[in-house]
Structure 1
Amino acid sequence: MQMKVPDVNRCCFCIPLRPGIILFAYLNIIFSVLSVTCLVITTELQKTSITHDPSVEVMISTVLFSILGMGVILNFLLLIAGYQKDVSMLRLYNYYALVTTLAALVPTCFLFSRKMFTEVFVALFVIAMQCYVIVLVRSEVVKLEENKLKNTEVSHSRFHNCIDISDRVTLV
C-alpha cells in the first residue's frame, strides 16, 4: 500500500511556500516558548498546592511539553534553513519533527485517559500544526530539488552544446 503525501504550492492557500514556512517557524517559536512557560508555572503551582509528591499527571504533562518545548530549537533550525534554502537542514528538520511529533502522541494519549482535556486539546493543536509544517517543509524540499535538477540539466545542455563538434571538421 502506497500513500502519497500531498505537495502544496502555497502556505494557508495565500502565502508563497518559503515565506510561509518562515512565518510558521516564528509562530512556532512564540507558541513553544509560551506553552513551556505556562506549563512550568502550572506544574509548579500544582506541586505545591496538592502535595509535595509529584503526581503522574504533572510528570506526564512535563514530559509532553518538554518534547514540544524542544520545538524551540527545532524551529530555529527551520528558520535558518528557510532563509538559506538549505535542503539538508530542511530534511533534518523533517526527520526530527516527525520523531518528536510521534513521541508527543504517547503522553497525549495518557493525558486523554486521565481526562485532562485542556492539556490534550493544546497538545493536539500543537501536533496538528506540526504535521502541517512537516508537509510544507517536504513540499519545499521537493521544490528546491526540482529547481536544482532543472539547473543542472540546463548547465549540462549548455556544456554539451559548447563541445559539440561537427562531423565535417577534420583536425588534419
Structure 2
Amino acid sequence: MVLEFKKCCTCVPMRFGLAFWGYLKLLFDVVILFIRGFGIEMQPQIGLFSITTAFIVNNTVMVDFIMNIVFIIGCHRKKASLLFVYYVHSMVFLVITIFLCAYNFMTMATNIFYSEYNNPLVSLIAYFIYIGAHCYMIFILRSEITKLENNTESTTTEMTQPECTLKMIEDTEQQNEIE
C-alpha cells in the first residue's frame, strides 16, 4: 500500500507545492554553498580530512542544485519523466543526507572544542525536521508522478480507442414532441 495525496499540505495543489519546495531547496542550496565556501577558508586548521569532507558535501549540494533545476522544469512543464529522474535523485539524496547528518552529529558530540554557538540538540532537531519534510515531499512527488502518468495513459487510450455511442433518432424526435 502506497500513500497517495491529492493536495500538498491539505490545501495547495500538488504541483504548486512541489514547485515551491523546489525553489526553496534551490535557495537553501545556494546558501549552503555560500556558507560552506567561506567556512573552509575561515578554519585555522585545514587538514586532509576536512578538505575531503568539504569536497563531498559541496559536490553533493552542487548535484542537488542541478537536480532541483531539473525538478522545477519538470513541475512547470508537467513532465513525468523529469519528475521521475528527480524522484530517484531524492531517494539517493535522502540516504546521503541521513548519513551526513549522522556523521555531523557524531562529530559534534565527540568534538571537545566545539563552538558554543552550535548546539547539537538544535542541529539534531533541524536534521529531523528536514528529513521528515524531505520524506513528505517524496510522497507528494510520487503522487504527482502517478497522477501525470495516469492522465497521459487515459489521454492516449481515448485517442487510440474512441468510445462509440449510438443514439436512436426516434428518442430525440420523441423528446422534441414532448417539449
TM-score (norm 2): 0.73
What corresponds to 2:138 in structure 1?
A: 134
Residues 1:12 and 2:9 aligned together: yes
Contact 1:81 1:89 in 2 (8 A): yes
Task: For residue 7 of structure 1, report the CA deviation from its aligned partner.
Answer: 1.1
Residues 1:95 and 2:99 aligned together: no
* C-alpha spacing 1:138/1:52, structure 2 compared with 1 (3 Å): closer
Residues 1:37 and 2:34 aligned together: yes
Which deviates the most, 145-154 or 116-125? 116-125
Aligned residue among 20, 25, 37 for 1:28: 25
Contact 1:68 1:100 in 2 (8 A): no
Residues 1:144 and 2:148 aligned together: yes
C-alpha separation between the residues in 1 aligned to 2:88 and 2:131? 15
Contact 2:22 2:72 in 1 (8 A): yes
Aligned residue among 159, 164, 170 for 1:161: 164
Gaps in structure 2 of 5+ consecutive residues: 110-119, 167-179
Matched letter for residue 103 of structure 2: F
Contact 1:17 1:136 in 2 (8 A): yes
C-alpha separation between the residues in 1 aligned to 2:81 and 2:46? 46
Contact 1:60 1:107 in 2 (8 A): no
| Aligned-pair Cα RMSD in Å | 2.6
Question: How many residues in Structure 1 have an aligned counterpart in Structure 2?
Answer: 155
What corresponds to 2:105 in structure 1?
A: 112
C-alpha separation between the residues in 1 aligned to 2:134 and 2:21? 9
Asked which structure has the greater CA Rg, the reply is 2
* C-alpha spacing 1:75/1:81, structure 2 compared with 1 (3 Å): same
C-alpha separation between the residues in 2 aligned to 1:98 and 1:41? 29
Residues 1:64 and 2:61 aligned together: no
- 1:99-126 per-residue CA deviation (whole Å, 9 max, x = no partner) reads 1221222222111212262655555544
Aligned-partner SS, 1:114: helix
Matched letter for residue 5 of structure 2: V
